[in-house]
Structure formats: C-alpha cells, structure tokens
Structure 1
Amino acid sequence: MTVGDFESKNAERWREYERLVESLEKGKPNEHADQLPRRFRELCVDLSLAECRMYGSRLTGRLNALVIRGYEIIYRTRRGGWRAFAEFAAVGFPRAVRGDWKLFWLCSIMFWLPFFAMMLSAHHDISWVQAALGPEGMASMDDMYGGREQQIAHLRSEYGSNFMMFCFYIYNNVAIDFRIFAGGMAAGVGTLFFLLFNGVHIGAAAGYVNVAGNPESFWTFVAGHSSFELLGMVVAGMAGMRLGLAILKPGRLPRVRALAETTKHTLPLIYGAALLTTLAAVVEGFWSAQPVPSMLKYAVGIFFWLLHAAYFLFAGRGVKHAP
C-alpha cells in the first residue's frame, strides 16, 4: 500500500479523531467522548504501521502529534483522584445543577410548598400535623425536642457517640435520597411523590414542635445541616426526574437506550447529591447536637445557606476545563 492509499483510506477517521480531541481540549461537552480510548488505540496502530513501512516523517510526525494529544487528554481525565474530585466539586457539580435549572426549581417547589403549608397549618389547625405524624411520630418529637438538655441526653442514650450519630444519619439520608432518585423509574411520578411526602412530613414535624414542643431545640439542631440535607434531596430529585423524562420522552432512541444514555449524563447530579448527603451527616453527627449558644448555631446555618446559594450560582463559571 502506498502512502497516498494509506492516507486516503484513513483520512476521515483521523479527522474525526482530531475534531474529538480539539473539542475535549477546549473543555466542550462531546457525546462521543467515551470513544476516545478506542480511537486512540486505532491511531497508535496506524502510527506503528506508518513507521514500520517508512511512510516518511511528514505523515508519522502528524500521527505522532495526534497520539500525544490524545494521550494527554486520557491521562488528564484518569489521573489524581483527589484532583478529579476537587474539579468535580468546584466546577462539574454546580454546572450540572445550573444546566438543569428548570428541574431544580420544579423539585424545590415540590418539597418547599408542602413543607411551608404543613408548618403554617399547625398554628391554625394542628389536626393535619397530627394526622401526618401519628402518635408515634409525635411522641418521638416530644422526646427529641422537648428541650436542649433533654435533646442532648436523648441523643447520647440513643446513639452513644457522635460517630454513631453520623453513621445513622448517613444511612437515613442516603435511604431517603435513593428513594427519591429511584422514583424516577416510574416516569418521574415516584420522585415527585417522595419529594412531596418528605415536604409534608418534615413540615409537619416543624409545625408540631413550633406549637407543642420547644422550637429552639428543634431549629438550633437543624440549622447547621439543613442546607446540605435538603439541597441534597432536591438534587436527587433532579436526577430522578431526568430518568423519568428519558422514559416519557426518549426521542428517536429506544426507551432502554435513552435511559442508559441519560443515566450517564445524570452521574454528576447523583455524585453531587451523595456529596451533600455525606456532608449533612458529618454536620448533623458532629455539630448539630453540640451544646453551643443558639445564636452561633443560627449564624452557622445562615452561613451555610448563603454559601450554597453562592456556590450554585457562581462556582465553575468562566472555567475553561470541566471534568
């Protein structure tokens, strides 16, 4: 095979590879990014053949440059777990949330509307709250939020240590977020239901404590971790709704294929929800029940909410390379 025949046969494949590399170098999203390793291997074979057949420095130099560019991209994406995590947290996750801002507000409304409705209804007719919590739920709220000293004693007797509290809370929070996410498999209906259910239940708990318990013990406990936990719930809802929309509107793809493709693009939201849930458990287990002044707890809670607002609005903007 002559040099001309070799170039003619592979020219289009090389151009596709070069376009893919250029888009990834610029940090642009590319639906064919997962094909880079395969195309990289094919190009390595082409380079080896060109060198073996002595097709000249012009062709081998071009292929070698393309191989080096592909290698640098693959190495960059696979190296340094901590660096990749930092890039995801600083850039990839907030960008993913902003990219699905409509789903963010939909899931937020589905949680916060019933939350405030139930919390405020307790001042007018507590029967709704009582029906939502039930006798066992109200008894549990009385034990937990009857007062600051009673709350700390209850937690210590229930869990024994801060670490055990952390373990319980991460188990509980992950279970909630998983149900919200997995509910998307029911065409999104399950996700909306679990968001609504949690809004009703948590709002009922807040309303009951405001009327029949010790509000200070409740709000000082939840202030610190509330932003992590509730936003993690909303992000899990976004991921679940993405699955639901893939089932309802698969486009030209078969539903199974559309669901598989959507799952890959939903990973940043799933990882982000897991990150927020883990941080919520850390704060809840090691800070929320600590006997510190109430004003300090409120200040920390407000700071975290403002920090999350700034993070999701501005983090990752103007950054050239995203994970």
Structure 2
Amino acid sequence: MREVAFIKQNKEKWLNFEKAIFGKKLKNPDELASLYIQLVNDLSYAQTYYPKSKTILYLNNLAAKAFQKIYKTKREDTNRFVHFWKVEVPLIVYEHRRYVLYAFILFLTFVAIGVLSAVYDDSFVRLILGDGYVNDTLENIEAGDPVAVYKSGSDWGSSIGITFNNLRVGITSFVLGIFGGLGTAYVMLENGIMVGAFQYFFYQEDVLWESVRGIWIHGSMEIFAIVIEGAAGLMLGASILFPKTYSRMISLKIGVKNGLKILISTFPFTIAAGFLEGYVTRYSNTMPNWLSVGIILFTLSLITFYYLVYPFIVNRKIKKAYATL
C-alpha cells in the first residue's frame, strides 16, 4: 500500500484518537486501550513499510501520549496533587530529558566562561559582583568569616526576600523562552557567569572551601532549580521553533503547559533553598564540617534524584503497566 493511501485510510481514526488524548473529556479506559492497540499496529506497519516517513514520528508521539493517558486513567491517585508530583512531572521531565541535558551543558559552559574571564581579567569579578559586595567580602575574609554577608538582616526577612527573588528569576527564565529559547539562554548566561566569577573570587582569596561549605548549603538546590527552570524555558522555545507534526499554535500550547508544570515543580526546592539561606547558611562557620557537608549532599541528592533519576523509574513502571494492558 502506498503511504498516501495508508494515511488516507487511517487519518480519521488517528484524528479521533488525538482528540481522545488531548481532549478534556476522557474516553472509557477500555475503549482508549483498544484505540491504543490499533495505533501501535499502525505504527508498526509504518515502521516496516515507510521507515523514513514523518508519519512514524507522528504516530510514535501519539502513542507516547496515549501511554501516559491510559496509565493516568486506570491508576490515577485520588489525590490529584500527589499524582502531579509522583507521575505527571516525572513523565514530562523524562519525555523532554534532552532539554534538561542542554540546560546543564549551557549553564556549565557559562560557569566556565565566568571562571576564565575572572582568571584573565582582574576587573571582571568587580564588574559582575559589584564593588560593594567585593569590598565587604574582602573585609569579612580579613575578619575570618568569608560568608558573613549572609548574616545580615533577620532570619525571616532574608529568607522571604531571597525566596521571592529566586522565584522571579525562575519565572523570568521560563517566560523568556518564548523568544525561541534565547531569552532563557540569556538568563542562564547571567547566572552561570556570576557563579563562575563568584567561586573564582573565593578561590583567589584562598577561602574556596569556606565558601563552598557555607554557600552551597542553599546553593545546591537554588542553582539546580535554575537549571531545571532553564530546561523548561528551552522546551517552550523548542515548541515554537520545532512544532513537528502539530500546527505551531498547538505545539506552543503543549510547550507552555508542559514547561509550566516543570517550572511549578521547582518552586518547593526554591522555597527550601531560601529557607536554608535565611536560617542555616548564616551559621555555617560555627557548625562542624560533617554537618554542613551533610546538608549539601542531602539537598543535592534530593533534587538530583527527583529530576535525574526518578523520571526513569516512573517511565519504567509505566512500561510494565502497558505490558499488562
């Protein structure tokens, strides 16, 4: 059968199936499963007879969405909030995991640029961090407390101010993704260069370890969240630039919806980072090394597991669930 005839023969069925997947009203789980089996059969046929066709890309994407929808319909938690964190977000992260990788590559590249710029330009650190911050920190280093700047202000006041600022950065990074991802890349550029110059400054002053054991108590989750928010912004940009088989408007809607869910998922980590910066980091120079390092490893492990490990676990469970359909 020619591909044109194959598409014409099944087009209506695929469109009806697409409406069932993306529509607000869900079909009966058994009916949806039956449609899914037909879709998989069509996908298998297309892979065999039209291996280089865009039809395969369309059917494969539709099958993946069906996979998620059937799993949700059959096994969704009665608690929608729990389901959002346990299944929905991890699945979206898994599906768009390449953008998480791109975000990390971009951010680490910008960090390296910040370090190298500080190495070869003595004025670069002051340009990025500001004379006031650098002068105050130099005085604090002389006084034996390199991270004393984090002790200014009240616990709750610092925590709230820092949290709102970090939330603003994350939201801005995502929203600017609408410019083909370039706006998101710029936000990551600013933050990456700042982190690189910042850490090199402490290295240059021979207090790198003191800064790490203090600042990264909150920085582990704060910076990691910024990278994930960057990934959400890149997803948004990609939905405009690369709509695949969708119209650009439908692709944008899907990109906004999925990216927004990932953005929201970072908020608890951002809030936790703000709490740690306001209430814990200020005491880093008085706590033993094992405690500060333990907090850093715990916070880093927690957010790393959720975004880099757990999505693969959820995806594997869903594959097993599909095998029983």
- Under a length normalisation based on structure 2, what TM-score does the superposition of the two structures give? 0.67
1:305 alignment counterpart: 300
Q: Distance in 2 between matches of 1:107 and 1:238?
A: 5
Establish whether residue 205 from structure 1 lines up as the match of residue 208 from structure 2. Answer: no
Alignment equivalent of 1:130, drawn from 121, 126, 133: 126
Q: Distance in 2 between matches of 1:92 and 1:147?
A: 49
The 3 A distance-change label for structure 1 pair 145 and 97 is: farther
Q: Spell out the pairing of 1:161-310 with structure 2 (5 A cutoff).
A: 162-212=155-205, 214-251=207-244, 253-290=246-283, 291-310=286-305
Alignment equivalent of 2:22, drawn from 31, 39, 52: 31
The 3 A distance-change label for structure 1 pair 141 and 172 is: farther
Q: Is the 8 A contact 1:147 1:214 kept in 2?
A: no
Establish whether residue 109 from structure 1 lines up as the match of residue 84 from structure 2. Answer: no
Query: How many pairs were matched up?
Result: 258
Q: Is the 8 A contact 2:177 2:236 kept in 1?
A: yes
Task: Provide the identity percentage.
Answer: 21
When structure 1 is superposed on structure 2, of 116-125 and 99-108 the one drifting more is 116-125
Alignment equivalent of 1:89, drawn from 85, 100, 104: 85
Deviations 1:154-194 (A, max 9, x none): 444x322x222210111111111122111101111111111
2:309 alignment counterpart: 314
When structure 1 is superposed on structure 2, of 204-213 and 230-239 the one drifting more is 204-213
Q: Is the 8 A contact 1:107 1:238 kept in 2?
A: yes
Q: Distance in 1 between matches of 2:137 and 2:84?
A: 38
Q: Is the 8 A contact 1:121 1:207 kept in 2?
A: no
Q: What is the deviation of 1:199?
A: 0.5
2:114 alignment counterpart: 118
Structure 1: runs of 5 or more not aligned: 1-15, 21-29, 41-69
2:197 aligned partner, one-letter code: A
- Under a length normalisation based on structure 1, what TM-score does the superposition of the two structures give? 0.67
The 3 A distance-change label for structure 1 pair 303 and 147 is: farther
Instruction: Report the RMSD for the aligned CA atoms in angstroms.
Output: 3.4
Q: Distance in 2 between matches of 1:196 and 1:145?
A: 28
The 3 A distance-change label for structure 1 pair 73 and 114 is: closer
Q: Distance in 2 between matches of 1:73 and 1:87?
A: 12
Establish whether residue 159 from structure 1 lines up as the match of residue 153 from structure 2. Answer: yes
Local SS of the residue matching 2:281 = coil
Q: What is the deviation of 1:120?
A: 5.3
Q: Is the 8 A contact 1:148 1:217 kept in 2?
A: no
